[in-house]
Amino acid sequence: MPVITLPDGSQRIFQAPVTVAEVAAGVGAGLAKAALAGKVSGKLVDTSFKIREDARLEIVTEKHPDALEVIRHSTAHLLAQAVQSLFPDVQVTIGPVIEDGFYYDFSYKRPFSPEDLTAIEEKMRELSAANLTVSRREMSRDDAVDFFKNLGEQYKAEIIASIPSNEVISLYGQGDWVDLCRGPHVPTTGKLKVFKLMKVAGAYWRGDSRNEMLQRIYGTAWTNAKDLENYLTRLEEVEKRDHRKIGRELDLFHMQEEAPGAVFWHPRGWSVFQSLIGYMREKQQAAGFQEVNGPELMDRSLWEASGHWEKFGENMFTTQTPDERVFAIKPMNCPGHVQIFKQGLRSYRDLPIRYAEFGKVHRYEPSGALHGLMRVRAFTQDDAHIFVSPEQITEESVAVSRLILDIYRDFGFDDVRIKFSDRPAKRVGSDGIWDKAEAALKEAARVADIDFTFNQGEGAFYGPKLEFVLRDAIGRDWQCGTLQVDLNLPERLGAYFIDLHSQKQIPVMLHRAIFGSLERFLGILIEHHAGRLPTWLAPVQVVLLGITDRADAYLCEVAVFLKNHGVRVDIDLRNEKIGFKIREHTLQRVPYLVVAGDKEVAAKFLSVRTRSGKDLGRMSPQTFVERLRVELESRGRRVLED
């Protein structure tokens, strides 16, 4: 006699085991019709799942937070069924849910064409309209292997063969088509109405480049047409904001095959990069950080002692000298900072010691993962390590958290989510040490009045961390900053200080990054602002445009005047129509377009407009510089409307 507790607290008693669908029908016909799945005591299940004991039950409808996961998972199956209906000799492999959609990998004798995608999507709609019942059944592992081998599905058979022999295998069928899957799925294909296939890409079987190249079809699915339309609109906006495209248009940087995952910075891009460093250097100095710099190449033994060799060895670039010493190019800065701390005798009176470095690091990323500035192999971290006593953890963590949030606001990121990542499965240090580190970081978050969600098992291998996630102008999330409490690395590398009682004590090390990767942060900024960087960051802040050549001498004088006041200025004296010049420099996203003709020369004035087309009127060079000074000194906070 299971007792079912519903979300509103009401309870229903049944005389025998009951399915989720039956409970929904007992509540009302409308709920039964809307049911996509169930959530039994926190676990997602099919509506056909039979509840045999007391449980809490949520009926998953389109409005439920888990609805999209079920819909997208089921639509991946709909895709696979449609593909095999149209191309019977295709073999299916895997089809998981991903952010905003799903994909399925196929093995086929030829590439899928755009026309194929159109036909596949049409077939999916046909199968949806057929409202096929989706059913689940279970098999032993060995029976499931034989089943898929008999179907000619060698990839599925290989997947199942790798599963422990005592594990029960579940299969889902719809019509005469069946697939291996854990589920859950919608009760019928008719529940899948709002979807679109997006593209085809290559993918190696099981992610291994030594295996066969498969074809991956990506799709998206939603609960309603409006959400799909909004998503497609957002994709268009993402394409327009692509930092690689804008980087070319603004002549900021480029990348090429001879240096995969590394950036060739052009003068304008390097100007922006250095502005980021200058800004952060100023902030860090005000917060009591001392800037240091460590070697990029260090002996393997140091990385073994720190634990990085075991954890990251396969992602480190190494070299061997003629005397057979193995060196690694640093993938992170922390072991170097510990070495600096260890030079000389440290007292408790010296703590906290705050080291910061704009450290160039190198990490091997697979070629397929590289993506402009967002995913590179060579990048610069705004890395810092703070050595504190255990009693100083909370105060210092609070100060760092507030500094991070203050800096993000300067760049226009007011929507910041924070995640608490606790101990991963593969880690160094005892559980007792981890208990202390996690408790200290949670207490710091409490004191700083920081709300966070849990990111279970995603801490660094040496300590827990807070992750700061920025939401950009078009709703995308970017994890940038981190604050980590480390009770392991200082001990492993032999760091200590002398306490009040003249005893050696191991310091706690706080790892802190705010931009994370300067390259990636700049890519995020470019896309967040669609290339219209705040005036203080823009590579060219003002462009001077002459209407006639009679204004040339005056504009040259103004250019010198502006440069002497620290303004990055270009001058365009070409014999072109002023409208053409304005359009061209507007496309270059220059914040201020300053025009001078005969009237301006006679009055020693300037006509000023913004890149958005706002006319600020006529003003003297002195007035314009003062206006700019106020904006530039705000260092990121926009004072003037764009």
pLDDT over 90 percentage in the chain: 76
245, 281, 363, 618: which is the annotated catalytic residue?
A: 363
Q: Note the Cα 193 to chain centre separation in Å.
A: 29
508 contacts 389 by C-beta, under 8 angstroms: yes
469 contacts 419 by C-beta, under 8 angstroms: yes
Residue with the larger pLDDT of the pair 575 and 1: 575
Q: Note the Cα 353 to chain centre separation in Å.
A: 31
Please check whether the domain covering 67-238 is classified as CATH 3.30.980.10: yes
Please give the torsion angle defined by the CA atoms of residues 452, 453, 457 and 458, in that order, rounded to the nearest 10 degrees. -60
Q: Mean pLDDT, to the nearest integer, of 438-442?
A: 87
Q: Mean pLDDT, to the nearest integer, of 316-338?
A: 94
Closest by CA position to 91, among listed 173, 180, 156, 170: 156
What Å distances lie between residue 205 and 76, 214, 315, 456, CA to CA? Answer: 18, 6, 21, 28
Burial of 220 (0-12, 13-18, 19+ CB in 10 A): buried
Q: Mean pLDDT, to the nearest integer, of 261-284?
A: 96
Q: Mean pLDDT, to the nearest integer, of 319-326?
A: 93
Residue 61: pLDDT over 90: yes
Strand order of the β-sheet with 508-517 is: 290-291, 353-362, 378-388, 508-517, 477-486, 465-471, 416-421, 453-455
Distance, CA of 91 to CA of 80 (rounded, Å): 9
CATH class of the structural domain 542-633: alpha beta
Residue 47: pLDDT over 80: yes
Closest by CA position to 464, among listed 422, 417, 424: 422
Query: How do residues 527-558 score in pLDDT, each as one tens digit?
Result: 999 999 999 999 999 999 999 999 999 999 99
334, 377, 442, 484: which is the annotated catalytic residue?
A: 334
Which residues belong to CATH 3.10.20.30 in the chain?
3-60
Residue 239: pLDDT over 70: yes
Query: How do residues 394-412 score in pLDDT, each as one tens digit?
Result: 899 999 999 999 999 988 8
Q: Which fold has domain 3-60?
A: Ubiquitin-like (UB roll) (3.10.20)
Is 339 part of the annotated catalytic residue set? no
Q: Mean pLDDT, to the nearest integer, of 160-183?
A: 90
pLDDT of 638 reads: 44
Q: Which two tokens stand for residue 602?
A: 């006679």
Give the position of tokens 């689940």: 136
The DSSP annotation for 492-537 comes to HTT--EE-TTS-EEPPEEEEEEEEEEHHHHHHHHHHHTTT---TTT
Query: How do residues 195-226 score in pLDDT, each as one tens digit?
Result: 999 999 988 888 777 888 999 999 999 999 99
pLDDT of 632 reads: 86
Closest by CA position to 373, among listed 248, 529, 559, 463: 248
Which residues belong to CATH 3.30.930.10 in the chain?
260-293+332-528
241, 308, 311, 385: which is the annotated catalytic residue?
A: 385
Which residues belong to CATH 3.40.50.800 in the chain?
542-633
At residue 255, the 3 state secondary structure works out as coil
Is 337 part of the annotated catalytic residue set? no
What Å distances lie between residue 458 and 377, 419, 421, CA to CA? Answer: 22, 10, 5
Q: Which amino acid is at 428?
A: V
376 contacts 370 by C-beta, under 8 angstroms: yes
At residue 124, the 3 state secondary structure works out as helix
Query: How do residues 109-155 score in pLDDT, each as one tens digit?
Result: 999 999 999 999 999 999 999 999 999 999 898 899 999 898 888 88
Residue 417: pLDDT over 70: yes
At residue 171, the 3 state secondary structure works out as strand
81, 215, 381, 484: which is the annotated catalytic residue?
A: 381
Q: Which residues pair with 220 in a beta bridge?
A: 196
46, 179, 383, 486: which is the annotated catalytic residue?
A: 383
Q: Note the Cα 231 to chain centre separation in Å.
A: 18
pLDDT of 635 reads: 63
- pTM over the 0.85 mark: no
The residues, ordered by sequence, that sit 6+ positions from 272 with a Cβ below 8 Å of its Cβ are 252, 522, 533, 537, 538, 539
The residues, ordered by sequence, that sit 6+ positions from 171 with a Cβ below 8 Å of its Cβ are 136, 137, 138, 139, 144, 147, 178, 179, 180, 181
Cis upstream peptide for 17 (omega within 30°)? no
Is 381 part of the annotated catalytic residue set? yes
Query: How do residues 332-380 score in pLDDT, each as one tens digit?
Result: 999 999 999 999 999 999 999 999 999 999 999 888 789 999 999 999 9
Give the position of tokens 């394409």: 239
480 contacts 462 by C-beta, under 8 angstroms: no
465, 528, 581, 585: which is the annotated catalytic residue?
A: 465
What Å distances lie between residue 319 and 328, 332, 360, 487, CA to CA? Answer: 6, 17, 17, 31
* 260-293+332-528 CATH, one of 3.40.50.2000, 3.30.930.10, 3.30.1490.20, 3.40.30.10: 3.30.930.10
Residue 130, phi-psi category: left (phi > 0), alpha (psi -120 to 50), beta (remainder)? alpha
Residue 419: pLDDT over 80: yes
Q: How many residues does the chain have?
A: 642
Is 243 part of the annotated catalytic residue set? no
Give the position of tokens 């078009």: 474
pLDDT over 70 percentage in the chain: 99
Q: Mean pLDDT, to the nearest integer, of 573-584?
A: 94
The residues, ordered by sequence, that sit 6+ positions from 305 with a Cβ below 8 Å of its Cβ are 335, 492, 493
Is 465 part of the annotated catalytic residue set? yes
The per-residue pLDDT of the chain, averaged, comes to 92
Is 511 part of the annotated catalytic residue set? yes
The residues, ordered by sequence, that sit 6+ positions from 336 with a Cβ below 8 Å of its Cβ are 294, 295, 298, 330, 357, 359
pLDDT of 362 reads: 96
* Segment (H or E) for 27: helix 20-27
191, 511, 512, 568: which is the annotated catalytic residue?
A: 511
Give the position of tokens 């019928």: 188
pLDDT of 65 reads: 93
Residue 641: pLDDT over 50: no
The DSSP annotation for 547-616 comes to SSGGGHHHHHHHHHHHHHTT--EEEE--SS-HHHHHHHHHHTT-SEEEEE-HHHHHHT-EEEEETT--EE
Q: Which two tokens stand for residue 6?
A: 């519903």
Please give the torsion angle defined by the CA atoms of residues 69, 74, 80 and 85, in that order, rounded to the nearest 10 degrees. -160
